[in-house]
Structure formats: C-alpha cells, structure tokens
C-alpha cells in the first residue's frame, strides 16, 4: 500500500538519516507526552497556549487575508476600469474568469493536505504564497480576458492547498472545544483585513497613468508584490505541526501534545494510506460538512465578488461603491467572535451555526426585496455577519467530530473544497443580465441557507442517536474507534 506521510516511512528507509532523526524526535516527544506528570500546571499551560496563539494566529491571518484579497479583487478591478479595458462586459466573460478559478482550487485540495506532512508545512505553504503572488503580479499586464482567465486558473491551483493546510494545522494544536475561537479569530482577522480591499483597490487605482500603467493594473501589481514579500517572510516564521514545531521548548511541546492526547488521542500522526483515505470518504458526515460549508461560503463569495457591483446597481458612484464595500465587515467580526466564544463555552456547534444561517437568510431577504437602498445595504451587514460566523463554525463542527490526523486531513480538505463549489455557484448565478438587483442569485443564496439548516438538523439527530447508543453500551465498537469519545452536537 502506498504511503503518503513521510514521517511514518522513516522506519522503512533507515538509510535516510534526516528521516530517522525526525522519527526519533517524534517518538521522543511522544514518550515525553505520555510520561509527563498527570496534572497539567495551569499557569504554565496558560502561558504556553497564549504564546502559541500569538505565534500562530496573527501571521497566518495576515497571509490568508492577502489570499482573500488576491482572490476577490477582480470585482474591484472591474469597477476600476478593467471591465472596459478587457471587454469583460461582453456576455458572461467576467463570470467565466471568476468561475474557472475554482476548478483547480477544488481539485487540488485533498492532494495538498495529504502531502502536507511529506513536503513540510513551511515548504508547501511558502511555495503556494509566492506562486499566487507571482500570478497576481502577472495579472497586472494581461492584454486580453483570455490571459486573465488563464491567470485565474493558475491562481486557483496555487491557492488550493493553502487554506485547508492552515485549518488542518491550527486544529492539531488545540483541544476540540478550544478550536472554534481560534479558527474564528484566524478567519475573521483575515476577512476583516480583506474587507478593506475595496478601499485599498480604490487608493491603488488612483495611481492610474503613472508609468503608463492603468489604475486597475496597479491593484494587481502592488498586491502581488506584497503577497510575494509575505511568502518570503513566511518561510522563516510559519508554524508547523505541534510535533515538528521549532519555537517551543521541549516541555512546552510535551504539554501541547499531552493536552491533545488527553482530549482525542491523536497527538501523533497516524499512517496515511490510500485505503484509509477511501475509508474516510465513506463517512457521509464528511460530505455533509462540505455541503454546509458550500452553503456558507456562497453568500461570502457573493459579497466578496459582487458587493461593489450590487452597490453600483443601487445608484452609488464607483468611488462610493468601493468605499461602502468595507463597513459590513466590521460588525461581522464582533458577531462571529461572540458566537465562537459561546459555542466553545457551551461545547455546542450546530444550534449556533443554525442561528447564524438564519441571520444570513434575513439579510438576503432584505437585500433582495427591500425597496429602500438603505435597508438593502443593511442587509449586506447581516449577510456578512451570518456567513462569516458560519464558516469557522462549520470548520470547528467537522474538526470536533473526527479522530486521527489522517481523517482530519481528509475532512478539512474535503470541506474547504466544497467551499470552492460555493464560489462557483456564486460566480455563475449572479449574471450580467440580472443587473442591478441580481434576484436569481439572491434566491439561490437564500435556498442554500435553508439547505444548511436542514443538514444541521440531520447531523445533529444522527450524532445524538450515536451518542445515546454509546452511553447505553449498544455499539459494537467505540465512536471513532476511541473509548470515551462522544460527538459534539
């Protein structure tokens, strides 16, 4: 059977000194973890986890914010003149360029996560960041919409492995009911920073004419250079998995691994094989997480790609449309962090995700059907607040209910891949012919929220039944193969 995780192949290749040393280090840390004192020192634990938070989350959030900016700046560039320059107003050219990004983005998600440990998180993530930064830079000089579309496809290929890798890595550092606050903080910091991309795009577009370069080209040029710079910096400071980290002391590493081991018994990676991957994919709940994630990313992508265009359709000027695109992201941060905090505190996921889906649904209704532009604009605040909270909520919901790093790798990649499907739907249902209200697209977004609520009900009933049977001793084997494990509802 072919093995994907190189850390588990070290024993098969004793001639490889570096692999053997890494294997010995992992085993040593493992023994340290299991033989450490039974009680964790609360003060030492608190200091260590605060340091982990500060070391991991801010930089990852900054880099991912530029992933989002580079992914969604097409709408701002179009508003700033790219549409006329490249003929994007003809037919569905803009939607095609937007949509084709997601094809490689979806296809490369699972392979990227499966090879993450073999290639090394730092190496893979750095290559992704520098690669998409270079593509973004190239987009500043495309002469036709065909070249623009090609660049979008390459952009999707380089960005595919990035987000699921970050979610996978973050989830391995924390206990199950600590993870949503961290995922929310990481994701929402990224979204909040990227929410100002329209203002940044407006400022950069003012450079139009400098050195003979159009305003929309300056958007891609400057943002591409910044992204490549972050990629170079990231090579030296990006975190890795807990058992491979370089910034904690041995005692701190042992503490982190012990916390995870006591929580779900997967502090050390299991062997990833093709048979395991296929077996994991037979779990229908992994596909349910993916569909729910697609339903949550659809409104997020809708706003990211089309909010400035929708605002322009309300009668706002180009400048006002770009500037008014940023404010909805502020309240979304507060709302999503509140739901993440209470969800971790109550150790409950589905109900709070459902509430946020309802908030999104109300926002869609206001934006679609209200007569007043002020009320329609307020609807975008609700859409952003609801969808921004659902995204980390669903990631945490899935991460809480899988055991073993191999299944976690498959689950996170599959979930995020479906997020790309949400992006495809968003880029195809908001059609030029539906300008200025885009009602068909808003109807699809509304239906997606209802589907997500239905799937939340289905998974909750399923997990509740299995938890009950496990408590009554009526199952042939423990849940997820771990004694004492119960699903998070």
Domain count, the chain: 1
In which band, very low, low, confident or very high, does the pLDDT at 27 lie, cut at 50, 70 and 90?
very low
Q: Look at residue 287 in the predicted model and tell me its pLDDT.
A: 96
| 14: phi then psi, degrees, rounded to nearest 5 | -65, -15
3 state SS for the chain? CCECCHHHCHHHCCCCHHHHHHHHHHHHHHHHHHHCCCCCCHHHHHHHHHHHHHHHHHHHHHHHHHHHHHHHHHHHHHHHHHHHHHCCCCCCHHHHHHHHCHHHHHHCHHHHHHCHHHHCHHHHHHHHHHHHHHHHHHHCCCCCHHHHHHHHHHHHHHHCCHHHHHHHHHHCCCCHHHHHHHHHHHHHHHHHHHHCHHHHHHHHHCCCCHHHCCHHHHHHHHHHHHHHHHHHHHHHHCCCCHHHCCCCCHHHHHHHHHHHHHHHCCCCCCCCEHHHHHHHHCCHHHHHHHHHHHHHHHHHHHHHHHHHHHHHHCCCCHHHHHHCCCCCHHHHHHHHHHHHHHHHHHCCCHHHHHHHHHHHHHHHHHHHHCCCHHHHHHHHHHHHHHHHHHHHHHHHHHHHCCCCHHHHHHHHHHHHHHHHHHHHHHHHHCCHHHCCCCHHHHHHHHHHHHHHHHHHHHHHHHHHHHHHHHHCCCCCCCHHHCCCCCCCC
Paired strand residues for 12: none
Q: What is the dihedral of CA 7, 12, 13, 17, to 10 degrees?
A: 50
Using 50, 70 and 90 to split pLDDT, how confident is the model at 10?
very low
Nearest to 153 by CA among 221, 222, 107: 107
Tens digits of per-residue pLDDT, 469-485? 999 888 888 888 888 88
State the residue range of the domain holding 156. Answer: 52-469
Within a domain: 484? no
User: pLDDT > 90: what percent of the chain?
Assistant: 29
Selected residue with higher pLDDT from 27 and 267: 267
Distance between CA atoms of 395 and 164, rounded to whole angstroms? 10
Does the residue 5 lie in any domain? no
Is residue 174 assigned to a domain? yes
Contacts of the segment 11-14: beta carbons below 8 A, 24+ positions apart: none
Q: CB-based contacts of 434: which residues, under 8 Å, 6+ apart?
A: 440, 441
Query: Of the ranges 25-29, 125-129, 374-378, 474-478, which one carries the lowest mean pLDDT score?
Result: 25-29
Please write the tens of the pLDDT for every residue from 306-318: 777 778 777 787 7
166 domain-assigned: yes
Residue 82, domain CATH: 1.20.1250.20
Residue 129 CA neighbour count, 13 Å, CB half: 28
Answer with the residue of higher pLDDT: 108 or 13.
108
Q: How far apart are CA 49 and CA 174, in angstroms?
A: 9
pLDDT band at 245 (very low <50, low <70, confident <90, very high): confident
When comparing pLDDT for 328 and 53, which is higher? 53
> What pLDDT sits at residue 6?
37
Q: What pLDDT does 429 receive?
A: 83
Q: Is residue 19 part of a domain?
A: no
Confidence bin at 432 (pLDDT 50/70/90): low
Predicted confidence (pLDDT) per residue in 399-417, tens digit: 889 888 888 889 988 998 8
Q: Which range, of 152-156, 272-276, 283-287, averages the lowest pLDDT?
A: 272-276
Distances (CA, A) of 276 to 3, 97, 164, 405: 10, 36, 19, 11
Is 324 within 8 Å of 303 (Cβ atoms)? no
Mean of all residue pLDDT scores within the chain: 83
Bridge partners (DSSP) listed for residue 3: 273
- In DSSP terms, 273 is beta-bridged to 3
- The whole-angstrom separation of Cα 130 and Cα 342 is 37
Q: How confident is the model at residue 171 (pLDDT cuts 50, 70, 90)?
A: confident
Question: Which of 7-11, 208-212, 370-374 comes out lowest in average pLDDT?
Answer: 7-11
Mean pLDDT calculated for residue range 200-218: 85
Q: How confident is the model at residue 161 (pLDDT cuts 50, 70, 90)?
A: confident
Instruction: Give the pLDDT confidence score for residue 343 in this predicted structure.
Output: 92
Tell me the mean pLDDT in the region 371-387: 89
Q: Average pLDDT, stretch 138-160? A: 91
Q: Tell me the mean pLDDT in the region 407-436.
A: 83
| Tokens found for residue 423 | 């992006």
In a domain, 10, yes or no: no
Q: What integer pLDDT is reported at residue 305 of this predicted model?
A: 67
> What is the Cα–Cα distance from 143 to 120, expressed in whole angstroms?
37
Across 4-8, 19-23, 189-193, 401-405, the highest mean pLDDT is recorded for: 401-405
What pLDDT, on the 0 to 100 scale, is given for residue 20? 36
First to last CA, the chain: 35
Give the closest residue to 113 by CA, choosing from 358, 408, 454, 373: 408
Q: φ, ψ for residue 273 (rounded to 5)? A: -125, 165
C-alpha span between 245 and 144 (Å, rounded): 45
| Residue 89 located in a structural domain | yes
Compute the distance between CA of residue 452 and CA of residue 458 in angstroms, rounded to an integer.
10
Residue 39, pLDDT above cutoff 50:
yes
Is 15's pLDDT higher than 50?
no
Residue 460 is predicted with a pLDDT of 96
Instruction: For residue 104, give both structure tokens.
Output: 């490689």
CA torsion sign for 418, 234, 258, 267 is positive
pLDDT band for position 288 (cuts 50, 70, 90): very high
Query: 351: closest CA among 442, 251, 460, 426?
Result: 460
Residue 295 and residue 449 in contact, taking contact as beta carbons nearer than 8 Å: yes
Quote the pLDDT of residue 50. 93
- Residue 482 domain-assigned? no
| 276 and 398 Cβ atoms separated by less than 8 Å | no
pLDDT band at 456, cuts 50/70/90?
very high
Q: Which residue has the higher pLDDT, 387 or 263?
A: 387
């Amino acid at each position: 059977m072919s093995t994907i995780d190189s850390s588990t192949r070290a024993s098969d290749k004793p001639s490889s000194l570096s692999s053997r040393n890494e294997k010995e280090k992992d085993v040593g840390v493992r023994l340290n973890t299991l033989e450490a004192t039974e009680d964790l020192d609360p003060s030492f634990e608190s200091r260590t986890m605060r340091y982990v938070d500060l070391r991991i989350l801010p930089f990852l959030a900054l880099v991912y914010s530029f992933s989002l900016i580079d992914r969604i700046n097409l709408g701002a560039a179009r508003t700033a003149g790219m549409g006329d320059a490249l003929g994007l107003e003809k037919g569905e050219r803009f939607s095609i360029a937007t949509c084709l990004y997601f094809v490689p983005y979806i296809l490369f998600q699972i392979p990227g996560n499966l090879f993450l440990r073999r290639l090394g998180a730092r190496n893979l993530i750095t290559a992704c960041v520098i690669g998409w930064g270079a593509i973004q830079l190239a987009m500043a000089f495309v002469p036709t919409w065909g070249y623009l579309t090609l660049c979008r496809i390459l952009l999707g290929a380089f960005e595919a492995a990035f987000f699921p890798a970050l979610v996978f890595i973050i989830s391995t550092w924390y206990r199950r009911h600590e993870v949503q606050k961290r995922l929310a903080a990481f994701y929402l910091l990224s979204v909040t920073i990227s929410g100002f991309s329209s203002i940044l795009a407006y400022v950069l577009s003012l450079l139009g004419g400098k050195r003979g370069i159009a305003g929309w080209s300056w958007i891609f040029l400057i943002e591409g250079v910044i992204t490549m710079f972050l990629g170079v910096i990231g090579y030296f400071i990006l975190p890795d998995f807990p058992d491979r980290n370089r910034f904690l002391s041995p005692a701190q590493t042992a503490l982190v691994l012990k916390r995870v081991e006591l929580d779900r018994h997967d502090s050390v990676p299991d062997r990833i094989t093709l048979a395991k991957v296929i077996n994991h994919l037979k779990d229908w709940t992994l596909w349910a997480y993916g569909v729910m994630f697609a339903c949550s990313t659809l409104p997020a992508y809708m706003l990211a790609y089309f909010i400035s265009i929708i605002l322009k359709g309300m009668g706002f000027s180009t400048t006002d449309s770009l500037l008014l695109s940023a404010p909805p992201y502020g309240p979304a941060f507060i709302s999503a962090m509140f739901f993440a905090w209470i969800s971790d505190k109550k150790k409950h996921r589905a109900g709070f995700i459902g509430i946020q889906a309802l908030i999104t649904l109300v926002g869609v209704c206001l934006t679609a059907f209200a007569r007043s532009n002020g009320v329609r604009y307020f609807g975008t605040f609700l859409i952003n607040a609801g969808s921004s909270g659902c995204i980390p909520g669903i990631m945490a919901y899935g991460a809480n209910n899988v055991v073993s790093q191999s299944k976690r790798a498959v689950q996170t990649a599959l979930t995020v891949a479906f997020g790309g499907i949400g992006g495809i739907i968003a880029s195809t249902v908001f059609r030029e012919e539906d300008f200025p209200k885009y009602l068909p697209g808003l109807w699809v977004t509304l239906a997606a929220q209802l589907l997500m609520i239905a799937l939340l009900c289905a998974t909750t009933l399923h997990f509740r039944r299995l938890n009950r049977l496990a408590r009554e001793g009526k199952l042939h084997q423990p849940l997820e193969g771990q004694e004492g494990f119960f699903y998070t509802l």
